[in-house]
Amino acid sequence: MYIGGAWVESESGARFDATSPATGETIGSVPEGTREDAKRAIAAANAAAREWAARSAFERAAALERVADAIRERRDELARTLTLDQGKPLKAEAYGEVDELIEYWRGAAAEAIRIEGLMPPSADAEKRVLVYRVPKGVVGVITPWNWPYTMPAEIVAPALAGGNAVVWTPASSTALCSVKLAECVVDAGLPAGVFNLVTGPGREVGDEIASSPGTHAVGFIGSTETGMRVAERAAGKSLLLEMGGNGPLVVLEDADVDAAVEATLTASFLCAGQSCTAGERFLVHEAVQDEFVEKLTARMGEIRLGDPFADDTTMGPLNNEATAAKMDAHVGDALERGATLVAGGYRADGFPTKLFWEATVLDGVTEEMAVAREETFGPVVPISTIRSDDEALAVIDSSPFGLLAAVFTRDLSRGLRFAESARAGWVNVNDSTNYWESHLPFGGRSGSRSGVGRVGGRFSLEALTELKTVILNLG
C-alpha cells in the first residue's frame, strides 16, 4: 500500500492473494489493509492537503501530465496486468482501457488550469467580491473491479487537479491492477501524503474512508447496494456516486436494424457485459422484432469467447464467482418463466476456470423476470416486445435505474424527442449504450438508484471543488 509517501505493509501484516479469473492461478499478493491503515492514510492526506491546495493549478497540471507519461511508458505492463487480473482480452480491450486511462489524466491536467471563479458586484461601492473554486480537502475514493484503471481515474485525477488530497481504496478482486496504477502516480513525484492507496476489504477500509470525519468528500463508483451503504456512512459530506444501470436499448419500427444489431454486440458483450452502461434491456418494436433477432443470431459467431491473451478473442471470463452466479440465476429465472433461449445460456466448458460464460440471447423477456428488473452485469441480451414509443418510455420510467439509455430510429426528430423524454442521465440516439466520452457529464437521473452528481471533464472538477466567497473592504 502507499501511505504518506511510502510503500508500506498493512499494520496487521496480513496479505491476500490475487487470482486470475482467466487462468485460476495466483498472480501476486497484496496487503490486506485494516481500519487502522485507512486512518493512517486519512491522517497523511490531511497533513498534506493544505500545501497541495496552495500549489498553482499549473503545477498540479504538470504533475498529472507526468502520471500520464508514466502510464504511457508502462502501457504493455499495465495492459497485461489488466488481462491477468480482470480478465479482459488483451488485444480487443485491455490496451484500449490503458489508452483511455492516459486521456483521463491528460484531460484532468487540462481542466486544472481552466478552473475559474467570479467577481460579482457588491451592493457597497467600497467593497469587492471574489468567488473562488477551492478544494474540498481530502477526498475518499472507492472504486470497482470492472474498469480498474479508468474508473479510479474518473475521480482521483480530477480530485488531484482541483487541489485535493486523496485516499483511494479499490476493489479487492483487481487490487493488483490498482497497485500498478498507483506506481504510475507515485512516479509523478507528488508531495508525500497527497495520494494514498489502501487495499483491503470494503467493510473495513471503505467504511472508514466513507465515515471518517477526516474525509470531506467521497467519490464512489460501483453497485447500487454498496453505493447506498457508502451514502449512509458518508451522510453530510459531498458525494459523487456513480452506481448501477440496466441500459435499455430501444429499437423502433423505423430503425436501421443492422445498425441496432451492431450496437447490441458492443452494448452487451464489451467487458463481458460487466459495465454500468451495458445494454441489459432490449425493447424492440413488434414490427421489426423477428428481423432483429434473426440478424443478431446470425452475428453471434463474431463473439469469440476464449483465452484473453489470444489475438482473436473478443470476450474473456467474468471477473468473479458472484457475478457468474448472478448470470446463472438471472438466465435460469428467465427460462423458468417462459423466455426463449436463442443463443448461449450456460457457462462454457474447457477453460481453466468456471468464469467463462457464453454470450447469451433471450427472447420473450417479460417484466417479472429478474433479468428485466435488475442489473445482471453479464454477457446477455434480454429482448422484450414493445408496440409504441410511449410503451418503451413507460418501461424506462418504471425502472429504478436511470443511468443511460439508447434509441434507434431513422427519424432524428423522433429520436431527439424520445431522448428528451426518457428518464436517464444520458441517452444515445442511434448508438450503443456503451458509447460515451470522458469529458462529457455522466451520471444517473435524479431520484434513481444510479447515483448522484456527474463525472466527466470539468464536471468532475466542479463536483470535487466548492465555491468560496471573499469580500475585500476598500474603505
Contact 406, 432 (CB under 8 A): yes
- 427 DSSP β-pair partners: 405
Q: What single letter denotes the amino acid at residue 69?
A: D
Predicted local distance difference test score (pLDDT) of residue 116: 93
Reading the block at residue 186, the C-alpha cell is 507515485
pLDDT one digit per residue (tens) for the chain, 475 residues: 999 999 999 999 999 999 999 999 999 999 999 999 999 999 999 999 999 999 999 999 999 999 999 999 999 999 999 999 999 999 999 999 999 999 999 999 999 999 999 999 999 999 999 999 999 999 999 999 999 999 999 999 999 999 999 999 999 999 999 999 999 999 999 999 999 999 999 999 999 999 999 999 999 999 999 999 999 999 999 999 999 999 999 999 999 999 999 999 999 999 999 999 999 999 999 999 999 999 999 999 999 999 999 999 999 999 999 999 999 999 999 999 999 999 999 999 999 999 999 999 999 999 999 999 999 999 999 999 999 999 999 999 999 999 999 999 999 999 999 999 999 999 999 999 999 999 999 999 999 999 999 999 999 999 999 999 999 999 9
**Could you tell me the three cell numbers for 344?**
448461449
CA distance 278 to 382: 12
Domains, in order of start, for the chain: 2-243+452-473 (3.40.605.10), 248-438 (3.40.309.10)
**Residue among 276, 280, 374, 462 flagged as catalytic:** 276
d(CA 214, CA 156): 17
Closest CA to 407 of 239, 283, 234, 221: 283
Q: Which residue has the cell 436463442?
A: 342
Q: Which pLDDT score is estimated for 343?
A: 98
Residue 234's CB is within 10 A of a number of other CB atoms, namely 22
What's the order of all strands across the beta sheet hosting 217-221?
A: 6-7, 2-3, 195-197, 165-170, 138-143, 217-221, 238-242, 451-452
CA 13 from centre of chain: 31
What cell was used for 185?
502516480
Angle at 158 (CA atoms; ends 228, 200), nearest 5 degrees: 50
Is 271 designated active site? no
Q: Answer yes or no: 276 catalytic.
A: yes
Spatial separation of the C-alpha atoms in residues 344 and 346, rounded to whole Å: 6
CA dist 324 and 347 (Å) reads: 8
Whether 239 contacts 391, CB under 8 Å = no
Please classify residue 6 by burial: count the beta carbons closer than 10 Å to its beta carbon, then call 0-12 exposed, 13-18 middle and 19+ buried: exposed
Catalytic residue among 242, 358, 374, 375: 242
Residue with cell 482501457: 97
The secondary structure of 76-107 as a DSSP string is: HHHHHHHHHHT---IIIIIHHHHHHHHHHHHH
Which cell is 255 given?
A: 430503425
* Angle in degrees, CA 215, 275, 382, rounded to 5: 140
Q: Exposed, middle or buried: residue 325 (CB in 10 Å: 0-12, 13-18, 19+)?
A: exposed
Q: What pLDDT sits at residue 300?
A: 98
The whole-angstrom separation of Cα 422 and Cα 406 is 9
The shares of helix, strand and coil residues in the chain, as percent rounded to the nearest 5, are 40, 20, 35
Cell 480530477 appears where? 158
Distance CA 83, CA 22 (A): 8
- Using an 8 Å Cβ cutoff, are 403 and 427 in contact? no
Can you tell me the distance from the alpha carbon of 144 to that of 202, in angstroms, rounded to the nearest whole number? 11
Radius of gyration of the chain (CA): 23
